[in-house]
Structure 1
Amino acid sequence: MKKRVIVGLSGGVDSSVTAYLLKEQGYEVIGLFMKNWHDDSVTISDDCPWLDDSNDAMLVAEKLGIPFQTVDLSTQYKERIVDYMFNEYEKGRTPNPDVLCNREIKFDVFMKIALDLGADYVATGHYCRKGTLIENGKETYKLLAGKDNNKDQSYFLCQLSQEQLAKAIFPIGELQKPEVRAIAAEADLITADKKDSQGLCFIGKVRLPEFLQQKLKPKQGQIIEIPELFSEYTDTRNNFSSKVEELEYLSRKINYSETDGEIVGTHQGAHYFTKGQRKGLSVGGKVEPLFVIDTDVDTNTIYTGQGKKHPGLYKRALFVTNEELHWVREDLQLLSGGTLEVSARIRYRQALEKATLHKVDAGLYVEFENKQSAITEGQFVAWYLEDELVGSGVIS
């Protein structure tokens, strides 16, 4: 019996080549297109219209001679991704819907549908790889970075579990993007030259303010500029009674008040802005551009600093609570008091940075060797041992 693989065909080149390669390898392949979004009012519609995508996916399936169907997951997508996003922005955090979409939709709702259809595996067009360790007859799965450093998407899969990895296949993880396009062209697939979709997982480019305004109403507030010599930045403590006290200090959130700087403008809602953001502030007349260093959704205030070297943007450490801590490699998780030297990143495409994990009773500190710019609450930190992603968590 051939093994049955269900491919999430998105209408892009990566998933098209995934289906093609699996068919070449002798699997029984079925293509499924996920329809996750109906509301075109907030999408920049030329950029990722789902109708065109589903059509392209269907044409690829036809070309490959594999069965194809569309599944409507818009209800689950709204509940698990969109509502979560609104909720996080409302709290003043910045969510990462792509990481959530992989954990909650592609490798949960979609995977369950695939398994109900008798699939042995689910395949996606992610640039990452899967390894297997066998110890005492027990299989442990490794989530490895894609061979194409420029396209590696392991970060987006940082919340996957052993159960999800067990059923996942990533056929293009060993390839470079140009190789994927060349395979698509050689196989005469309609998606060979199609440009990569941008924006929210499956929705496409969204006008974020309009998207958020559906639920979070505009409300005028003040933009405050904090000077570089603000007292909290110049207070460099180095006498700590314990390592935990030092980590608490390094990861602390500075609580700014409106009297700490000068009013330089107004905005239409603190929850539309995120740390490190430069665009959309509309404040001129400064030597260097302003960057958001913090937002306060309770007082509806945005705190900014001049230039990308502003000390308010940088921190050495961050904290993840136990509730939001996840180990892909459960066998490697730390016990309280344990430490582990890793490489870590706090956003997709960021180069890996040397860091040390410190497990405490309440959660986990990630202490970086170098200060990091715009560590943002609600985003994911992921840590690696060489090219293996072993765990992740939501920055608190």
Structure 2
Amino acid sequence: MKRVIIGLSGGVDSSVAAYLLQEQGYEVIGLFMKNWHDDSVTISNECPWLDDSNDAMLVAEKLGIPFQTVDLSEQYKERIVDYMFQEYEKGRTPNPDVLCNREIKFDVFMDIALGLGADYVATGHYCRKGTIEKDGEEVYQLLAGVDSNKDQSYFLCQLSQEQLAKSLFPIGELTKPQVREIATKLDLVTAEKKDSQGLCFIGKVKLPDFLQQQLKPKEGVIVEVPKEQPIFNEEIPEFQSEEEKLEFLSRKLDYKVDYGKVVGKHPGAHYFTKGQRKGLGVGGTVEPLFVIDTDVDENVIYTGQGKTHPGLLKKALFVSNEELHWIRKDLALKTDETMEVMARIRYRQPLQTATLHKVDSGLYVEFEEFQSAITEGQFVAWYLKDELVGSGVIS
């Protein structure tokens, strides 16, 4: 019997995943990851991880599998929380869920599991793993989950071949309603439990509240930039090369306070992110205001009216070589090569038609349609049919 250690989170997905592994004849052990217990950050009076670890233990008892808790809060703080604050201070917007999978679940946690004699690590993600043979070698594929509403392959876009080799995703072939149905039949305590919201590590907290406890507030101005501002109507220059064109399409506009009018105040530019609409506290505009850029050095937030404001729209983005990642290394592009793909710049975004262009310094992703709020620090992931083959941090 192969031994599988499953990350039991206290949610319905991992509970059912554990049951399915048992049904497939694996020896299953449940491990709950405790990722946060810093009382200096008062988050809420609730202690979500206690409830979750309790639920995970009840599920393990019901299924008759061994269970224990591992405390990864130290590694979590170092690799995720500190990194998040550094990114926010730079005016970028990191994705803690993608990082949590790369750095914690499929690295620190996987090492612990393999140390306990596990052949595989399993999670309750809605995605699938494929295996193909290429040049006599086994190559692992990360495939979208069958339930297109819940597909979570994007969150695993930074995994490596080594990590995939040791991973199992038992619920990838199922839809969420099917998973709930199985949990109900088994009378699991998690059957009706709501999906967790908030940060992947501290439960019910909202990100701005968490940031405010770590990054000091600093009052600044909110500037509204009109659609007619000449910066949006730059004449398109003659390009000497494809790379010059891509550089132009993906460029970051340089806003100045006198490009618009001051319409309000904010508590700190580093709390805001591109495309954000809530929390600005400015009323009286014809269309809602959206953040089109933040300047953390000058502590200014630039906004524009409406979803189609030109400050929100871009057709291309750039990923530097240091932040470029291929799950399928065998498909990695060489300089001057291109690839037609489907791509997304955030979880749950419908896939968009795009072309990858490899250049010396990195990779451009050029979209067929304008994309809204391409945000530095977030991940772009690209697919061939339903296989996620690579990703990178938007720079």
TM-score using structure 2 length: 0.98
Deviation at 1:212, TM superposition (A): 1.4
Q: Does the C-alpha gap of structure 1 residues 330 and 65 become closer, same or farther in structure 2, counting only changes over 3 Å?
A: same
Give the aligned partner of residue 11 of structure 1.
10
Cα RMSD (Å) of the superposition? 1.1
Aligned length: 394
Deviation at 1:216, TM superposition (A): 1.2
Note the 1:379-394 alignment, pairs <5 A: 379-394=378-393
Does structure 2 conserve the Cα–Cα contact (< 8 Å) formed by 1:42 and 1:210?
Answer: no
Deviations 1:247-293 (A, max 9, x none): 00000000001111111111010000000001111111111111000
- Greater alpha carbon shift after TM alignment, 231-240 vs 170-179: 231-240
In structure 2, distance between residues paired with 1:236 and 1:289:
28
Please say if 1:59 is aligned against 2:47.
Answer: no
Please say if 1:314 is aligned against 2:313.
Answer: yes
In structure 1, distance between residues paired with 2:290 and 2:106:
36
Q: Does the C-alpha gap of structure 1 residues 352 and 45 become closer, same or farther in structure 2, counting only changes over 3 Å?
A: farther
Does structure 2 conserve the Cα–Cα contact (< 8 Å) formed by 1:99 and 1:158?
Answer: yes
Give the aligned partner of residue 250 of structure 1.
249
Give the aligned partner of residue 90 of structure 1.
89
In structure 1, distance between residues paired with 2:389 and 2:292:
30
Note the 1:1-396 alignment, pairs <5 A: 2-39=1-38, 41-44=41-44, 46=46, 49-237=48-236, 239-396=238-395
Deviation at 1:45, TM superposition (A): 5.2
In structure 2, distance between residues paired with 1:304 and 1:39:
35
In structure 2, distance between residues paired with 1:136 and 1:92:
44
Structure 2 segments unaligned to the other structure (5+ residues): none
Alignment identity in percent?
77
Does structure 2 conserve the Cα–Cα contact (< 8 Å) formed by 1:44 and 1:207?
Answer: no
Deviation at 1:208, TM superposition (A): 2.3
Does structure 1 conserve the Cα–Cα contact (< 8 Å) formed by 2:30 and 2:66?
Answer: yes
Q: Does the C-alpha gap of structure 1 residues 382 and 3 become closer, same or farther in structure 2, counting only changes over 3 Å?
A: same
SS of the residue 2:150 aligns to: coil
TM-score using structure 1 length: 0.98
Deviation at 1:330, TM superposition (A): 0.3
Deviations 1:8-31 (A, max 9, x none): 000000000000000111100000
Does structure 2 conserve the Cα–Cα contact (< 8 Å) formed by 1:162 and 1:328?
Answer: yes
Does structure 1 conserve the Cα–Cα contact (< 8 Å) formed by 2:198 and 2:207?
Answer: no
- The AA in structure 1 aligned to 2:84 is M
Does structure 1 conserve the Cα–Cα contact (< 8 Å) formed by 2:198 and 2:206?
Answer: no
Deviations 1:163-213 (A, max 9, x none): 000000000000000000001111111111111101211321323233112
In structure 2, distance between residues paired with 1:280 and 1:169:
40
SS of the residue 2:214 aligns to: coil
Q: Does the C-alpha gap of structure 1 residues 241 and 45 become closer, same or farther in structure 2, counting only changes over 3 Å?
A: farther
SS of the residue 1:214 aligns to: helix
SS of the residue 1:299 aligns to: coil
- The AA in structure 2 aligned to 1:67 is P
Does structure 2 conserve the Cα–Cα contact (< 8 Å) formed by 1:56 and 1:190?
Answer: yes
In structure 2, distance between residues paired with 1:286 and 1:195:
36
Deviation at 1:127, TM superposition (A): 0.1
In structure 2, distance between residues paired with 1:311 and 1:123:
44
In structure 2, distance between residues paired with 1:287 and 1:189:
50
In structure 1, distance between residues paired with 2:199 and 2:97:
7
Structure 1 segments unaligned to the other structure (5+ residues): none
Does structure 2 conserve the Cα–Cα contact (< 8 Å) formed by 1:42 and 1:207?
Answer: no
- The AA in structure 2 aligned to 1:43 is I
Deviations 1:2-52 (A, max 9, x none): 000000000000000000000111100000000001136443455x70000
Deviations 1:80-111 (A, max 9, x none): 00000000000000000000000000000000
Does structure 1 conserve the Cα–Cα contact (< 8 Å) formed by 2:223 and 2:300?
Answer: yes
In structure 2, distance between residues paired with 1:374 and 1:304:
12
Q: Which runs of 4+ in 1 moved over 3 A?
A: 39-46
Does structure 2 conserve the Cα–Cα contact (< 8 Å) formed by 1:220 and 1:268?
Answer: yes
Deviation at 1:232, TM superposition (A): 1.8
- Greater alpha carbon shift after TM alignment, 159-168 vs 236-245: 236-245
Deviations 1:216-244 (A, max 9, x none): 10000010010101112112416211110
SS of the residue 1:209 aligns to: helix
SS of the residue 1:278 aligns to: coil
- The AA in structure 1 aligned to 2:212 is Q
In structure 2, distance between residues paired with 1:42 and 1:311:
39
- The AA in structure 1 aligned to 2:281 is S
SS of the residue 1:95 aligns to: coil
Does structure 1 conserve the Cα–Cα contact (< 8 Å) formed by 2:199 and 2:207?
Answer: no
- The AA in structure 1 aligned to 2:231 is E
In structure 1, distance between residues paired with 2:66 and 2:181:
24
